[in-house]
Amino acid sequence: IAGITQAPTSQILAAGRRMTLRCTQDMRHNAMYWYRQDLGLGLRLIHYSNTAGTTGKGEVPDGYSVSRANTDDFPLTLASAVPSQTSVYFCASSDTPSPHEQFFGPGTRLTVL
Amino acid sequence: GQSLEQPSEVTAVEGAIVQINCTYQTSGFYGLSWYQQHDGGAPTFLSYNALDGLEETGRFSSFLSRSDSYGYLLLQELQMKDSASYFCAYNTDKLIFGTGTRLQVFP
């Protein structure tokens, strides 16, 4: 593994289903983030974690949950997917809780029907 | 409130210089970052300004004026590979991104 990996690369999901997007980093960064990117809206922060064992809400947290059991993994869960959650999801990490330089994963393209 | 404004699209020709402006409004501010994103790709970090002035990294430079709540990204000697979207983002205790500027470089 080099950097940040995300899985799956893409997914089509029926509304109402539960889905977990996976994110793993091997850079030993303390902070990790989940963003969604929609056309014309840029990147919006969903949840973040400044260190293992802690999480916080971003700009658009509703309908999503996260956990940070260890330094490397930061999964994002959609408990009951809705079509408005169709988006491209990016996981990112940074070396410190001051997040000006973030390293992004390749993204997961999620379609909720 | 918190907001960032940047132009939605900019076009230029190879070899030219282009400036992408970014204005922001926020109650807490540590600095301004710039990211590049090619179509279908992930955002990648370009530069960061915590203090007023110009930061230069090769063909790219970034400027910040805290008193004017304004910054810009300057791209020199444009190449076709510079065609991408460019995002400014201000740093509070998290990064808040603008909606991006799509740069198209023509031969």
* Residue B34 contacts residue B90 (beta carbons within 8 Å): no
| pLDDT band for position A79 (cuts 50, 70, 90) | very high
Q: Residue A97 has what pLDDT? A: 60
Find out whether A88 and A37 touch, Cβ atoms under 8 Å.
yes
Q: What is the dihedral of CA A4, A7, A9, A11, to 10 degrees?
A: -150
Q: Which of B23, B26, B31 is nearest to B68 (CA)?
A: B23
Half-sphere CA count of B21, side-chain side, radius 13 A: 7
Q: Find the mean pLDDT for residues A58-84.
A: 97
pLDDT in tens, B10-45: 999 999 999 999 999 988 888 999 999 999 999 999
Q: Of B31, B93, B97, which has the smallest distance from its Cβ to A42's Cβ?
A: B97
The alpha carbon of residue B48 is apart from the nearest alpha carbon of chain A, in Å, by 7
Which is more confident, A22 or B1? A22
Q: What is the pLDDT of residue B26?
A: 85
Could you read off the pLDDT of A89-109 as tens digits, one per residue?
999 999 876 678 999 999 999
Of A41, A99, A106, which has the smallest distance from its Cβ to B94's Cβ?
A99
Whether B87 and A58 lie within 8 Å, measured CB to CB: no
Tell whether B100 lies on the interface with A, counting CB pairs under 8 A.
yes
Answer with the residue of higher pLDDT: A64 or B28. Answer: A64
The strand pairing partners of B49, in sequence order, are: B32
Which residue in chain A has the smallest CA separation from B97? A43
- The reported pLDDT for the residue numbered B87 is 97
Residue A17 confidence (pLDDT) above 90: yes
User: A103: closest CA among A41, A42, A44, A23?
Assistant: A23
pLDDT for res A35: 98
Mean pLDDT for all residues in chain B: 94
Determine the pLDDT at residue B104: 97
Among candidates B41, B89, B91 on the partner chain, residue whose Cβ is nearest the Cβ of A98: B91
Q: How far is B68 from chain A (nearest CA, A)?
A: 20
Lookup result for tokens 């869960």: A77
Compute the distance between CA of residue B38 and CA of residue B32 in angstroms, rounded to an integer.
Answer: 20
Q: Is the minimum CB–CB distance between B43 and chain A shorter than 8 Å?
A: yes
